[in-house]
Amino acid sequence: MRFTLDSNILVCAADGRDTRRRDSAIAIIGGANLGDCLLTPQSLAEFFHVVTRKRLIPRPDAAGQVRRWAALFPITQGADAAAVLTAVEAATTGRFQFYDALLIVTAAAAGCHAMISEDMAAGTELAGLRIVPAFTATGDVAPAAQALLGTAPATDAPGRG
C-alpha cells in the first residue's frame, strides 16, 4: 500500500527533546524507505520551517536533511487548484486544519492510501487516504504504523484483513 509521512514525523526525527519519539520517528522513516512511501514537497518544506524556526537543528543541517530525503524518497508534485479547493472545504467543515488537508489531498492524488501522523486523529479519512497513528502513548511505534511499514502482522494494518 502506498503511503506517506506527515511532516511531524520528520520533525520528531530531528527533535532530541524526546528521545523515545525521536528514535521511533527514525525507525518509521527507515521502514518507510523500504516500503512504498513517498513524500510531499509540503512535508519537506514544513520540516525545514519548523526545525529552523524552533532552532532544533542549524539551517545547513536542515537543508542537508531535506536533500537526503529528497534523494531517498519519491516526491509528489505540488498541490494543484483542485487540491487547494478540497483542502479549503475540509478546513471549512472543521474536519482538518487547512495545511493538514492540503498535505493529505496532495498525497492521495499521488496514489497514497495512508499517512503516518503524530497528531491527526487516527482512522480519519480524506480523499481516500486514512490517517495511521505514529506512536503509542509511551512514544513507541504504534502497531498500525508497524503494520503499514511491514514490521508487524498484516492484520493490524488499516484496510488489510
pLDDT tens readout for residues 46-88 = 999 999 999 999 999 999 999 999 999 999 988 899 999 999 9
Question: Which residues are within 8 A (CB) of 91 and not within 5 positions of it... i.e. 6 or more apart?
Answer: 97, 98, 101
Residue owning grid cell 509511551: 138
Residue 16 in this model has a pLDDT that exceeds 80: yes
Residue 138 in this model has a pLDDT that exceeds 80: yes
Cell numbers given for 147: 503494520
Cell numbers given for 52: 529552523
**Selection from 21, 7, 27, 2 nearest residue 148 by Cα:** 2
Number of Cβ within 10 Å of residue 23's Cβ equals 15
Number of Cβ within 10 Å of residue 93's Cβ equals 9
Q: What is the mean pLDDT of the chain?
A: 93
d(CA 63, CA 149): 26
Residue owning grid cell 495545511: 99
Residue 160 in this model has a pLDDT that exceeds 50: no
Distances (CA, A) of 92 to 77, 79, 89: 24, 18, 5
For helices 59-72 and 41-53, angle between their N-to-C axes, nearest 10 degrees: 160
